[in-house]
Amino acid sequence: MVLGSFTIAEWFVLVQHELLLFAAAFFALGMIDEFALDCTYLWCRVTGRIQTERVDEAIFDDIDGLAGRAAVFIPAWQEANVLGPTLVHMLDAWPQDELTVYVGCYRNDAATMASVIAAVRGDPRVRLIVHERDGPTSKADCLNRLHAALTEDERRSGIETRMVVLHDAEDMVDPMALDLLDRALWHAHFVQLPVLALPQRHSPWIGSHYSDEFAESHGKALVVRDALGAAIPGAGVGCAVARGSLKQLAEKQGGLPFAAESLTEDYELGLKIAAAGGRGRFLRVRVADGRLIATRAFFPSRLNQSVRQKTRWMHGIALQGWDRLGWGSEPVELWMQLRDRRGPLAAILLVIAYLLFGFGAVGLVLQQLGLVELPMATPLLTALLWINFAGLSLRFLVRAAFTAREYGWRQGLLAIPRTIVSNVIAIMAGRRALLNYVGTLRGAPVIWDKTEHRDHPALLLPSKGRA
């Protein structure tokens, strides 16, 4: 068949070449961006702007309690499987009397409420807050309910809380984390600790690919942001905000510090505090034996759950962020926001890249059949392909190195093939995020599309109170 002066086979080759040029150009931009971040990280390491502090646990033992009252917010919807171990471990790891844990449940979730009552064993430091609405609403709405309970407690007691710490129902806290956050808030308004997504034996590909992503993101990207003085986004867990900053944010938003219409209210929290003039910090600190003071958790181990979670992240950060937060005026802030919001474009490019593998195989078959003559690569395309090859090789090496630093060389090697898993999930999440975003533009409500959690790392500990 002939279309115009071209046959279908010739059109196929032409489209393949143009797609290859388009994808190679944008992938090259992405590789240059990552290389710039790598170079910035190395420069900051060499100049001493990036250092992983080492502390002796005995230093915290000498501290007589916290500098003020601390409130931990844990929103929960259908978390009966993991919330109990989280609370048992947290209350054991953090024995401070100044601590109050606010657990938000819904009136139509009796199983989760029962797990809280059974786990706390009458510990007066835990407050079970039952939402007056049926769940799920949104995570931010549940957090706002906890904030209202905290405000009421402060009014009754006449004592204001010094800091608010955010955690999820499946988290395993570090014994030193609360003291570290308490100390850090003397010099900052918002503090984020690293998150370690633990590898999972029963899910070495889907569940464990989070280990690679967080090892690099919380070992390099956020470290660079902190070194350059950029705003630190919240991860939703292992982060603390000064009570005064949270109160100021609430006053600006009609008494609700957390944006109920946002899917990533935790990400926005750190950026809003920075926009209001507050200082954010990302802290990587190890104890004397090398353990990183971080929040540890198992992430989704099933494909559909992982896609749902990353859909929420991509929708909230990359798509809602354009409307809700705008763009920064400072070059460093603009660079970081572009990196945060590239997810949908990256998903599209990944689809094109994988399609091109198939097109390439078809093109070779057509050439062998004598139907077409594949064109020679232009100098521009050749240069772009070499940049992509070098950049991809470097990406594999860097990701493997950061993963190996936290989990050993075996996990570091597995991080290379797991990149394919990460890409496939990103493609699936990108499609869903775009559809969901269009739905919200048409008036669809924001609901808590949470992921299911079944396992908890604290159950694997040989003894209590140590991560």
- Quick: pLDDT tens for 160-194: 999 999 999 999 999 999 999 999 999 999 999 99
Residue 132 pLDDT greater than 90, yes or no: yes
Q: Which domain holds residue 410?
A: 2-42+341-441
Instruction: Examine residue 362 and state whether it is found in any structural domain, yes or no.
Output: yes
Indicate the helix (H) or strand (E) that contains 142: helix 139-157
Same domain flag for 361 and 235:
no
How many domains does one find in the chain?
A: 2
Q: For 431-467, how does the pLDDT look when each residue is reduced to its tens digit (9 = 90+)? A: 999 888 888 777 777 666 777 777 888 887 654 433 3
Instruction: Count the helices and strands in the chain (H runs, E runs).
Output: 16, 13
Same domain, 10 and 134: no
Both 346 and 334 in one domain: the answer is no
Taking the alpha carbons of 11, 13, 16, 22 in that order, is the dihedral positive or negative?
Answer: negative
Are 108 and 251 within one domain?
yes
Return d(Cα 124, Cα 98) in angstroms, integer. Answer: 11
**Is residue 465 in a domain?**
no
The pLDDT value given to residue 9: 57
- pLDDT at res. 345: 85
Average pLDDT over the chain reads 89
- Asked whether residue 345 is domain-assigned, the answer is yes
> 161 and 32, same structural domain?
no
Determine, yes or no, domain membership for 62: yes
Residue with tokens 């926009």, as numbered in its chain: 275
Domain assignment present for 447: no
- Asked whether 428 and 56 are in contact (CB, 8 A), the reply is no
Identify whether residues 140 and 276 lie together within a single domain.
Answer: yes
Q: What is the CATH number of the domain that holds 103?
A: 3.90.550.10
Q: Which two tokens stand for residue 62?
A: 């000498």
Does an H or E element contain 72, and which?
strand 70-75
- Distance in angstroms (rounded) separating the CA atoms of residues 93 and 327: 40
Please provide residue 292's backbone torsions phi and psi, each rounded to the nearest 5 degrees: -80, 130
79 and 148 together in one domain: yes
| Beta strands 2-3 and 6-7, pairing class | antiparallel
pLDDT at 51: 87
Q: Considering the domain boundaries, does residue 48 fall inside one?
A: no
Closest CA to 303 of 205, 213, 201: 205
* Tokens (6 digits) for 431: 């499609």
In a domain, 467, yes or no: no
Helix axes 8-47, 331-340, angle to 10 degrees: 130
Q: Who wins on pLDDT, 156 or 326?
A: 156
Contact by Cβ (8 Å): 24, 380: no
Mean pLDDT, residues 92-102 taken together? 96
Note the pLDDT of residue 3. Answer: 44
Regarding whether 143 and 104 lie in a shared domain, the answer is yes
Closest of 295, 453, 425 to residue 347, by C-alpha: 425
Task: Give the pLDDT confidence score for residue 464 in this predicted structure.
Answer: 43
Q: Report percent pLDDT > 90 for the chain.
A: 67
Checking if the pLDDT of 95 tops 60, the result is yes
pLDDT of residue 382: 87
Q: What is the CA radius of gyration of the chain?
A: 24
Q: What is the pLDDT of residues 343-399, one digit of tens each?
A: 888 888 888 888 877 766 666 666 666 666 666 667 888 899 899 999 999 999 999
Q: Residue 284: inside a domain, yes or no?
A: yes
Whole-structure pTM value? 0.91
The predicted structure's pLDDT at residue 422: 96
For position 83, what pLDDT does the model report?
A: 96
Q: Is the pLDDT assigned to residue 11 strictly greater than 70?
A: no
Q: Are residues 73 and 37 in the same domain?
A: no
Is the model's pLDDT at 1 over the cut of 50? no
Residues 240 and 171 in one domain: yes
Percent of the chain scoring above 70 in pLDDT: 89
Report pLDDT for 385.
87
Question: Which of 2-11, 314-323, 350-359 is least confident?
Answer: 2-11
Taking the C-alpha atoms of residue 99 and residue 72, their distance in angstroms, rounded to an integer, is 8
Are 278 and 320 in a shared domain? yes
Query: Per-residue pLDDT tens for 215-250?
Result: 999 999 999 999 999 999 999 999 999 999 999 999
Q: Do 385 and 294 have their domain in common? A: no
Residue 5 binned pLDDT confidence (cut-offs 50, 70, 90): very low
- In three-state secondary structure terms, 160 is coil
